[in-house]
């Protein structure tokens, strides 16, 4: 372990406690961002090299997916040591350098904490599985079989099949919501909660500014182990479990989403408070995602933000869907806070999912920067990268391997970042063969190629983010409800004496919209925004936007 100098209390007090509210967060998948040592796998030192680039986008924070010690059966989401760096990513000294460099570049650092489960190689589980009398016997979810030897209930794994795995030494099953090598921790055990709170404090003392909390609604399970009811076929709309997966056939009433989870989240928030740290929780639930988002972000003693999967769907959300989603947030999370994303490491890149023209991609990006909530950008989306086509023999993701060819898994959105079209592997690595192949289609859209093109998408992202930062009402303000008129979605954001009116034509045809009377001043010409109309009727071309400040009469 490298020598660590704790963050001083004065430094903590100087942080804006509400820095997270309206923040733009850039997600880095470390295996695929930058390889500094030529082994074909990205690492922390590589991220350090690229932090000035991330800062140049104008974002507020960087979220780094797991880099902890792990057997990598689920690529870091199976942790075997919460308080160290896996050698493939570097050392704790490399992480300290990352924190220091990020802060020098004005970036907060959020790390991905996987608290619901560990790797089966974690010392805690190695002890727990030995016997029912082991020191950590009840640190995981163990249960006796039914009389016929089958699992204790019908709970399923997201990665396919039963959520229970037999252990001969204990003659019991253990729960795994994901791979069988990812046993679920037992949050009913107070010692487990204290150990995990200690993990959070370890990283806070190293200087992190917050956490992305993986599968936040999976922490607690039903103590009675009751079976889940079936989900009607017409409600099977999950984005994290494809239709070929039986996981999408249940209402996960008892295997997750338990009300007792709130008590643990309050304890975690109390640990975070002295550091002015913030958390964004991943809510994985297709039916109750927004409702849970509201529960977990209510008041000032739970999580600051959560995100659900409403905008990570296969079809591009049209004006009516955006209004519906935002209306549900207003209903369930009026005093909470959402964090929006169009892409991440678990879903097909939205440039492919939505198959939207370039003008539509730009309009949707600007929209995200104007919606109430914070925003996440996934590495490469600022380049307009589409889903890479990864051959079966190159697949790494166990999810894709299990359900191929009906579902190809998540490798297509996890291929390496492309920096320079002329360099081997797009400038990602000097290795002969990176851990995933670099898409030839991606290299033509590299950072260096787009930097030299003033009309490239990367510059639109910078301008849209800068617009949000220039106008606090867009970042932190309230809204008057998202409304629609045909393909046009519109709303007003307010904070203090600043009022911003926003209208977006999300269709391929022109549209007109009656707008409030006011002395409108257009503020979005650099992101394709139209000028203010002379009257009270706004005319928008296909995919055009209008964003303006005004004094309302």
Rounded Cα distance between 313 and 325, Å, is 12
How far is the first Cα of the chain from the last one, in angstroms, to the nearest whole number? 63
Helices (H) and strands (E) in the chain, counts: 15, 21
Angle subtended by helix axes 190-205 and 261-272, to nearest 10: 30
Compute the radius of gyration of the chain from its Cα atoms: 23
Q: DSSP E strands: which ranges in 197-242?
A: 210-213
**29 token code pair:** 């998948």
pLDDT for the residue 406: 82
Q: Which residues lie closer than 8 Å to 404 by C-beta, 6 or more apart? A: 392, 395
What is the DSSP secondary structure assignment for residue 338, as one 8-state letter?
B
Rounded Cα distance between 77 and 71, Å, is 10
ω before 514 within 30° of 0 (cis)? no
CB 254 within 8 A of CB 221: yes
Helix (H) or strand (E) holding 24: strand 24-28
pLDDT for the residue 260: 98
Rounded Cα distance between 240 and 242, Å, is 6
CB 431 within 8 A of CB 425: yes
Catalytic residue among 35, 86, 94, 214: 214
- SS3 of residue 52 by DSSP: helix
Catalytic residue among 35, 86, 112, 282: 282
Residue 396, beta-bridge partner list: none
Sheet containing 374-378: order of strands? 305-307, 278-282, 210-213, 108-113, 61-64, 24-28, 374-378, 339-341
pLDDT for the residue 5: 44
CB 36 within 8 A of CB 46: yes
Rounded Cα distance between 81 and 363, Å, is 43
CB 163 within 8 A of CB 117: no
pLDDT for the residue 308: 86
Q: DSSP E strands: which ranges in 29-104?
A: 61-64, 68-69, 81-85
Q: DSSP E strands: which ranges in 223-298?
A: 278-282
pLDDT for the residue 242: 62
CB 34 within 8 A of CB 101: no
Q: Which domains are delineated in the chain?
A: 9-118+190-468 (3.20.20.80), 478-549 (2.60.40.1180)
Examine the residue annotation and report whether 214 is marked as an active-site residue of this protein: yes
pLDDT for the residue 534: 87
Q: Which residues lie closer than 8 Å to 500 by C-beta, 6 or more apart? A: 370, 471, 473, 474, 477, 492, 493, 494, 523, 547, 548, 549
CB 303 within 8 A of CB 262: no
pLDDT for the residue 4: 39
**482 token code pair:** 């998202």
Short-list 375, 393, 285, CA closest to 337: 375
Per-residue pLDDT of the chain (553 residues; tens, 9 = 90+): 333 344 433 344 356 899 999 999 999 999 999 999 999 999 999 999 999 999 999 999 999 999 999 999 999 999 999 999 999 999 999 999 999 999 999 999 999 999 999 999 999 999 999 999 999 999 999 999 999 999 999 999 998 899 999 999 999 999 999 999 999 999 999 999 999 999 999 999 999 999 999 999 999 999 999 999 999 988 887 665 566 789 999 999 999 999 999 999 999 999 999 999 999 999 999 889 999 999 999 999 999 999 989 999 888 999 999 999 999 999 999 999 999 999 999 999 999 999 899 999 999 999 999 999 999 999 999 999 999 999 999 999 988 888 888 888 999 999 999 999 988 899 999 999 999 999 999 999 999 999 999 999 999 999 999 999 999 999 999 999 999 999 999 999 999 999 999 999 999 999 999 998 888 999 999 999 999 998 899 999 999 999 999 865 5
* Residues found in the chain: 553
CB 178 within 8 A of CB 148: no
Measure the CA dihedral 262/263/264/268, to 10°. Answer: 90
């Amino acid at each position: 372990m490298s020598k660590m100098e704790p963050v001083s209390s004065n430094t903590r007090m100087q942080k804006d406690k509400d820095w997270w509210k309206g923040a733009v967060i850039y997600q880095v998948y470390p295996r695929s961002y930058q390889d500094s040592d030529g082994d074909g796998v990205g690492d922390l030192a590589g991220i350090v090299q690229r932090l000035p680039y991330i800062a140049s986008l104008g974002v507020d924070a960087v979220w780094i997916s797991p880099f902890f010690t792990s057997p990598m059966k689920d690529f870091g989401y199976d942790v075997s040591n919460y308080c160290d760096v896996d050698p493939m990513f570097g050392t704790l000294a490399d992480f300290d350098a990352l924190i220091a460099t990020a802060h020098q570049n004005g970036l907060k650092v959020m790390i991905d904490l996987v608290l619901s489960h560990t790797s089966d190689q974690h010392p805690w589980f190695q002890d727990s599985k030995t016997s029912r009398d082991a020191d950590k016997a009840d640190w995981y979810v163990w249960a006796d079989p039914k009389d016929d030897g089958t699992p204790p209930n019908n709970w399923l794994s997201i990665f396919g099949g039963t959520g229970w795995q037999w252990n001969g030494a204990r003659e019991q099953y253990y729960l795994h919501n994901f791979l069988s090598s990812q046993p679920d921790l037992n949050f009913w055990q107070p010692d487990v909660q204290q150990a995990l709170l200690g993990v959070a404090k370890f990283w806070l003392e190293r200087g992190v500014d917050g956490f992305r909390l993986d599968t936040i609604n999976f922490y607690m399970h039903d103590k009675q182990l009751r079976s889940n009811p079936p989900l009607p076929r017409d409600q099977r709309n999950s984005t994290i479990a494809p239709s070929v997966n039986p996981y999408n056939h249940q209402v996960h009433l008892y295997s997750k989403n338990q009300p007792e989870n709130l008590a643990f989240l309050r304890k975690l928030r109390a640990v975070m408070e002295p550091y002015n740290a913030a958390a964004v929780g991943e809510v994985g639930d297709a039916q109750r995602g927004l409702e849970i988002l509201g529960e977990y972000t209510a008041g000032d003693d739970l999580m600051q933000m959560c995100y659900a999967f409403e905008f990570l769907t296969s079809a591009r959300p049209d004006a009516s869907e955006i209004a519906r989603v935002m209306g549900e947030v207003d209903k369930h999370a009026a005093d909470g806070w959402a964090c929006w994303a169009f892409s991440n490491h678990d879903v097909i890149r939205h440039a492919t999912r939505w198959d939207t023209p370039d003008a539509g991609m730009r309009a949707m990006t600007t929209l995200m920067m104007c919606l109430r909530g914070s925003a996440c950008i996934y590495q490469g989306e600022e380049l307009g990268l589409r889903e890479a086509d990864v051959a079966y023999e190159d697949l790494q993701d166990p999810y894709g391997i299990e359900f191929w060819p009906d579902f190809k898994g998540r490798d297509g959105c996890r291929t390496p970042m492309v920096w320079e079209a002329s360099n081997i592997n797009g400038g990602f690595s000097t290795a002969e063969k990176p851990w995933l192949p670099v898409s030839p289609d991606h290299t033509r859209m590299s950072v260096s190629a787009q930097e030299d093109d003033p009309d490239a998408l990367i510059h639109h992202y910078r301008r849209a983010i800068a617009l949000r930062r220039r106008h606090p009402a867009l970042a932190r303000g309230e809204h008057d409800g998202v409304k629609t008129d045909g393909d046009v979605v519109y709303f007003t954001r307010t904070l203090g004496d600043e009022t911003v009116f926003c209208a977006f034509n999300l269709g391929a045809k022109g549209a007109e919209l009656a707008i409030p009377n006011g002395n409108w001043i257009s503020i979005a010409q650099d992101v394709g925004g139209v000028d203010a109309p002379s009257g009270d009727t706004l005319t928008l071309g296909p995919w055009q936007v209008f964003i303006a400040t005004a004094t309302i009469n």
